[in-house]
Chains A and B, each alone.
Chain A
């Protein structure tokens, strides 16, 4: 069983999907000969050829629309957009077509495509390379937004996204592309979509997060354990459709909840989770739900970036505030 990091797990899943299904076409800017700017598609063109691993012109809207056409013709395009900051020209195609083709034709045409993009800050990248705008996609009906946070989940969730008969935006937390190595069995087994993962069980407080913030959140749970606080950590993994069952049953148990995300606070997906808890889980709560998020600013360039990112200290402060309510 190979020990791989999150990026290698993405590559493994792409390779496995291309092996098992001829309809899988990997395309995007620099995904072929160059193996992708992060090397997520490394080796694919050598193995599967330039027909199925396609270097495209620099054309985010065009290649997203092209993927809609390919998917409607029963192919399984897996499209890479190099950075989340360059995804916006593609949004017209995603919101107007990919996410609604099935609905607007009452199931006659469908759009089984995956749009992969690395997202998030913390790697000292240039301007426009560090955004976390997952909530924009989570607001689009008919679309799944999936974010892995470990090599195993990257492998299993990407396979699930490719197998899924509907469009998936698959956002890869690039800050943790190389942070953790795991033994990932290359067995082609998909993990379930539309499910949160309980990464750590606990009884005193629920910490909810996704993507790269898993690292600080798990560290927060470790610190809390030293104080004798048992924290449950939930990786949302599929933002939409949201698995509220897992979230509610955790908060029913703990009565306290902190939501951590890197994206800006206002309109962030943490607000949606907090609203669901306020609507349907209020009586389980012993304390207000707190959010630890990026600020409502443009994500700063590297000189100030570390001030923006939610830190372990901010997570601990929020958790301790929530724990003070009796």
Chain B
């Protein structure tokens, strides 16, 4: 006879604070009473969206490489980064420009990176933050290492790692989650569940009802949050970070959002997803939701909006100008950061590429 034992509370919490119409549906966290803080979140989301628009336009006109827009997911990146302390460490996937901007990565750096220039990942701002991880899910184990370093040094800091829904099917995700659990590391795993891993829908990714419940298998906290509600995202990530920094262990947060854009500029989402689905999701997008709430509060006016849009446009245009004016790297630079100092075995190769590039320039 099979004996059934109750091993775990299989309930997964869900936090939503603003409804899709911008009306509160949950208790507002303390920081939300400070309108300046809410406006800061709003401005960051608007700036992110403006940057994404401009980046796609640059790609379409041949002035940027393949680009992964975060359209519709701005609340995840911005909410996550707003919850972090400066001395926490962010390990982003490739769609977290919103988080990177809030962390202090500059738009010029972001554009340089997507423009095909490694110098874009040499951040002047958050020096310990990792560059965007391109191989999906490979960043999760790094976060456990960063968190272990913090724990070994007895620091009240934490690592925050962000991946997509598809990344939760990978071994790296499970291995990192498991390591974080067994060593109680100060790390917060955020899954930006935008429902699509290129053309594979969330339903085809896993039979699990939620992605957050994967935390339960490794004995750590798991919860869901409305990922289009920046107030809720900031709130739950802040709460998880406080636990992590206090030595109370890691968390997994599944932020439910939607990718309104193509996967990247190299993708055509109309091949695999119906327009009706996308237009229905536009009604839940995060930017207008917070704008409605701020407007209802009387904290935001049409004039404020106009000013912000103009400012954001100018900021992005300035960044684009600086990006386009970036001097090309020298050919020999591909050798300069392979090792701390170039092994003599590679000196000839460096010389060769330098000479050939000079010939090309001369010709």
A contact set with B: CB distance below 8 Å: 25, 51, 56-57, 59, 61-75, 77, 89, 92-93, 96-97, 102-110, 141-142, 165-166, 194, 240-245
Contact = CB atoms under 8 A, between A and B. Distances in A.
Given A57-B182, A61-B141, A69-B141, A74 B149 contact: yes
A137 B121 CA distance: 25
Counting chain A CB atoms within 10 Å of each CB, the highest count among B127, B135, B141 belongs to B141
B179 A108 contact: no
Counting chain B CB atoms within 10 Å of each CB, the highest count among A73, A74, A102, A109 belongs to A73
A62 B150 CA distance: 18
B150 to A, nearest CB: 7
B185 to A, nearest CB: 9
Given A66-B144, A69-B142, A108-B123, 17 more contacts: A56-B179, A65-B175, A66-B148, A69-B143, A70-B149, A71-B145, A73-B146, A75-B152, A77-B145, A89-B171, A104-B121, A106-B121, A109-B131, A142-B339, A166-B340, A194-B343, A244-B345
Interface string B153-179: 000000100000000000110011011
A96 B337 contact: no
Contacts of A62: 141, 144, 171-172, 175-176, 178-179
B171 to A, nearest CB: 6
B105 to A, nearest CB: 12
Interface in B305-363: 336-340, 343-346
Interface in B173-215: 175-176, 178-179, 182
A244 B345 CA distance: 7
Contacts of A67: 145
A60 to B, nearest CB: 9
Given A61-B175, A62-B178, A241-B346, A104 B131 contact: yes
B148 A97 contact: no
A72 B171 contact: no
B340 A141 contact: no
A107 B131 CA distance: 12
A272 B119 CA distance: 32
Nearest to B119: A106
A189 to B, nearest CB: 20
B145 A102 contact: no
A93 B141 contact: yes
Contacts of A104: 118, 121, 131
A110 B338 CA distance: 10
B345 A65 contact: no
Nearest to B132: A104
Given A72-B145, A72-B146, A106-B121, A65 B138 contact: yes
Interface residues of B, number: 42
Given A241-B345, A243-B345, A65 B141 contact: yes
B140 interface: yes
Contacts, number: 139
Counting chain A CB atoms within 10 Å of each CB, the highest count among B140, B147, B343 belongs to B343
B152 A103 contact: no
B267 interface: no
Nearest to A64: B141
Contact of A107 (B138, B142, B171, B337): B337
Contacts of B147: 69
A25 B152 contact: yes
Interface string B21-56: 000000000000000000000000000000000000
A73 B150 contact: yes
Nearest to A165: B340
Please list the 4 inter-chain residue pairs (A to B) with the smallest Cβ-Cβ separation, ordered nearest first. Answer: A69-B145, A65-B141, A62-B175, A73-B149
Contact of B141 (A66, A141, A243, A244): A66
Contacts of B148: 66, 69-70
A93 B337 contact: no
A64 B179 CA distance: 12
A194 B138 contact: no
A241 B350 CA distance: 14
A148 to B, nearest CB: 19
B122 interface: yes
Contacts of A103: 118, 337-338
Contacts of B121: 104-106, 108
Contacts of A107: 122, 336-337
Given A104-B131, A194-B343, A59 B337 contact: no
A77 B131 CA distance: 21
Nearest to A22: B152
Nearest to B153: A73
18 contacts: A61-B172, A62-B141, A62-B171, A63-B179, A65-B142, A69-B149, A70-B145, A70-B146, A89-B171, A92-B172, A96-B134, A102-B338, A105-B131, A105-B337, A108-B122, A109-B128, A243-B345, A245-B344
Contacts of B114: none
B352 to A, nearest CB: 13
A202 B141 CA distance: 49
Given A62-B141, A65-B144, A106 B118 contact: yes
Contact of A96 (B130, B135, B159): B135
Contacts of A25: 152
Nearest to B120: A106
